[in-house]
Structures are given as C-alpha cells and as structure tokens.
Amino acid sequence: MKIKLIQIQDTNEKYLKEGINEYLKRLKKYCKVDIITIKPIKNAKHLSIEELKNKEIQAIKTKLDSRDYVYLLDERGQNPKSIDFAQKIEKISINHPCIAFVIGGAYGFNDAFRKEANDLLSLSKMTFSHQLIRVIFLEQIYRAFSILNGDPYHNED
C-alpha cells in the first residue's frame, strides 16, 4: 500500500519535522509514504480567497493519479474513531493502490473539490495549524496500521 500526503508549503519548525520523521520511520514497516509539498502560490496576497483556493487545488490535482483514493482533511468530514479509520484504510486498499490524503492551505477547499474527492476526514472539531496537523495525522496513520497488524501500540477499552 502506498500513502501520499499532499500538503501546501513545507514544514519549517524543527520540532515538527522531528515528529514527522519519527512517524515516517515507524510507517516504513507497513507502507510507503510520499510527502508531496505544493509550493506556496506566488502573489497570494493579491488574490481573493477563492482565487487562492482554486490555484492551490489546481496544483494539488497535478499530484493525483486517477487510481488514487482521494481523502481531503476537511472540517466538514467524518470524525471516526481510530479503529474505524483503520478499517476504512483496509477496505480502501482492496481496490486502490494508493490513498492520497490532502491537507489544504489556510482556507481549505472549495465545494467543487470536496465533491470530486472520494472522502472527507476531520481529525477534530478543534482547529490545528496546518503544520501541526501533519504530525498528528501521521501518528493516526501509524496507529491505523498498528491496529490492522495487531501491534500493541493502540489500546481499546
């Protein structure tokens, strides 16, 4: 199984990079993870929010393959328990060689792109920075694979 994590702009905080690298290292035994970074849109401050979202989405789409299962990290998405998320990954992997998880820019996605995606996922009703969510989300992917493989990382009561 292959995982793509598509993000806008690189992570620039050292402590976050360390967390990302830790979970990427742990995930190697389960799957291949590619982090794909979209460069910030030039002259973004001169664009309307909708124009900026559209340009970011266009750039994201160039990184997607027609066989990818596209999951947008979006506040409007489902907020599953970790075990349910793991089971969803397992089901998706039967028909799709790659799951592409997309973290949008500061303003998220437009409705058209939400409709094009296969699924929407919310990690919380709270708002996290786009850089911090990368570490949190990679941990959840690692947790999902540890659940699927019966490893003792996850505890369920």
At a CB cut-off of 8 Å and minimum separation 6, what does 88 contact?
Answer: 80
Q: What is the pLDDT of residue 14?
A: 96
Positions of the chain with pLDDT under 50: none
Q: What is the pLDDT of residue 157?
A: 59
Q: Give the CA distances from residue 43 to residues 8, 55, 60, 130, in Å, rounded to whole numbers and listed in that order.
A: 15, 11, 18, 20
Q: What is the pLDDT of residue 37?
A: 96
Q: Would you list the domain boundaries of the chain?
A: 2-148
3-state secondary structure of 46: helix
Please state the pTM of the whole predicted model. Answer: 0.94
Tokens of 48: 């309307």
Q: What is the pLDDT of residue 104?
A: 92
Q: What is the pLDDT of residue 129?
A: 87
DSSP annotation of 77: E
82 vs 86: CA distance, rounded Å: 6
Q: What is the pLDDT of residue 84?
A: 97
Q: What is the pLDDT of residue 113?
A: 98
94 vs 77: CA distance, rounded Å: 22
2-148: what fold?
Alpha/beta knot (3.40.1280)
Q: What is the pLDDT of residue 130?
A: 84
Q: Which residue has the tokens 């999951």?
A: 71
Handedness of CA 121, 51, 131, 18 (dihedral sign): positive
